[in-house]
């Protein structure tokens, strides 16, 4: 119970990693404040948290808007009186286009959700986090480790998010707030399952064959599950990581070494 009686705010709560983050934090003893645009999805995850014996407050939120983000923070503090951790998990898929051809407005939109919103939430919650020696975790990506074609905007956004986390670690460290990153590779959840099924149909092979071929390139011979990525975030939020800040923990079953 490494997060016993702590309060964790999680943005971008969806059916994959966002849900995994909420449930793993709850299993570690935390109460959670859940933020996303979809109210039904939030209610579903909040119910699962309650079934684990922890409290969950769902807050429909557009983290690209200042007023909506402020309401999230106010609701968290009104509900629990404290916040001990923040997981910036919200993500908007950047345009998968060569940088030489990409629409710059689409690049700006990607940065708004994937970088600036994380900065906004962290700044709004900094006073509460500083009161309790809190921790921030940015969910990054293995795109940091490669430069494949059409991933340019994606890498730009996630590299900026990494720099944001490192700089905030320096700024907030004197106030007792730690800031770290988790960089997953493949995550074996609904979106990837759909994509592997799509690739399999294109090639006329079972989706399982696509999985096996991909997994064979990873050291552990399998793809990470959402809970495994979430556990890394739980560790960084917990007192077990009390001397760790400004770091990026890769969770990829050995796809990339860093």
Please check whether residues 202 and 217 belong to one and the same domain: yes
Please check whether residues 159 and 238 belong to one and the same domain: yes
The whole domain housing 80 covers: 7-186+225-251
Please check whether residues 94 and 203 belong to one and the same domain: no
* pLDDT of the residue at 184: 96
Please check whether residues 104 and 218 belong to one and the same domain: no
Any domain includes 257: no
221: left (phi over 0), alpha (psi -120 to 50) or beta: left
Any domain includes 1: no
- Indicate the pTM of the whole model: 0.94
Over 90: is that where the pLDDT of 196 sits?
Answer: yes
Could you tell me the two tokens for 39?
């109210």
Please check whether residues 111 and 123 belong to one and the same domain: yes
Task: Determine how β-strand 85-88 pairs with β-strand 7-11.
Answer: parallel
Could you tell me the two tokens for 216?
């064979």
Beta bridge partners of 60: 36
Please check whether residues 90 and 146 belong to one and the same domain: yes
Over 90: is that where the pLDDT of 38 sits?
Answer: no
Please check whether residues 153 and 216 belong to one and the same domain: no
Number of domains in the chain: 2
Q: How far apart are CA 28 and CA 1, in angstroms?
A: 4
Is residue 154 flagged as an active site residue? yes
Please check whether residues 70 and 196 belong to one and the same domain: no
Beta bridge partners of 58: 34
Any domain includes 258: no
Backbone phi and psi for residue 252, each to the nearest 5 degrees, phi listed first: -145, 15
Over 90: is that where the pLDDT of 111 sits?
Answer: yes
Please check whether residues 169 and 192 belong to one and the same domain: no
Please check whether residues 198 and 75 belong to one and the same domain: no
Which CATH number is 118's domain given? Answer: 3.40.50.720
Please check whether residues 196 and 121 belong to one and the same domain: no
Asked whether 43 and 91 are in contact (CB, 8 A), the reply is no
CA distance readout (Å), 140 to 41, 44, 113 = 22, 25, 13
Asked whether 39 and 86 are in contact (CB, 8 A), the reply is no
Host H or E run for residue 32: strand 31-36
- Nearest 10 degrees: Cα torsion 211, 213, 219, 223: -10
60: Cα within 13 Å, side-chain hemisphere? 7
Q: Which of 154, 186, 195, 211 is catalytic?
A: 154
Nearest to 56 by CA among 88, 18, 89, 91: 18
Asked whether 100 and 145 are in contact (CB, 8 A), the reply is no
CA distance readout (Å), 43 to 15, 25, 48, 100, 128 = 12, 17, 9, 42, 25
Any domain includes 165: yes
* pLDDT tens, residue by residue, 69-96: 999 999 999 999 999 999 999 998 898 9
* pLDDT tens, residue by residue, 203-258: 999 999 999 999 999 999 999 999 999 999 999 999 999 999 999 999 999 999 98
Any domain includes 177: yes
Please check whether residues 242 and 154 belong to one and the same domain: yes
Any domain includes 62: yes
């Amino acid at each position: 119970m490494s997060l016993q009686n702590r309060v964790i705010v999680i943005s971008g709560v969806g059916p994959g990693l966002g849900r995994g983050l909420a449930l793993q934090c709850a299993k570690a003893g935390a109460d959670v404040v859940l933020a996303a645009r979809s109210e039904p999805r939030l209610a579903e995850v909040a119910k699962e948290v309650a079934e684990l014996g922890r409290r969950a407050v769902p807050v429909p939120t557009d983290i690209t808007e200042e007023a909506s983000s402020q309401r999230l923070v106010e609701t968290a503090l009104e509900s629990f009186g404290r916040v001990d951790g923040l997981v910036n998990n919200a993500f908007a898929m950047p345009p998968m286009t060569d940088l030489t051809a990409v629409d710059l407005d689409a690049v700006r939109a990607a940065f708004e959700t994937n970088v600036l919103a994380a900065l906004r939430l962290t700044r709004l919650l900094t006073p509460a986090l500083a009161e309790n020696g809190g921790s921030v975790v940015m969910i990054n990506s293995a795109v940091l480790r490669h430069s494949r074609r059409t991933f340019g905007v994606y890498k730009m956004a996630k590299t900026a998010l990494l720099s944001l986390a490192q700089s905030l670690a320096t700024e907030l460290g004197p106030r007792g707030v730690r800031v770290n990153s988790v960089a997953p590779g493949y995550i074996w959840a609904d979106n990837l399952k759909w994509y592997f099924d799509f690739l399999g149909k294109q090639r006329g092979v079972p989706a399982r064959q696509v999985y096996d071929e991909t997994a064979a390139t990873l050291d552990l011979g399998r793809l990470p599950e959402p809970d495994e990525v979430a556990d890394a975030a739980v560790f960084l939020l917990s007192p077990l990581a009390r001397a760790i800040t400004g770091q990026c923990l890769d969770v990829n079953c050995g796809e990339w070494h860093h």
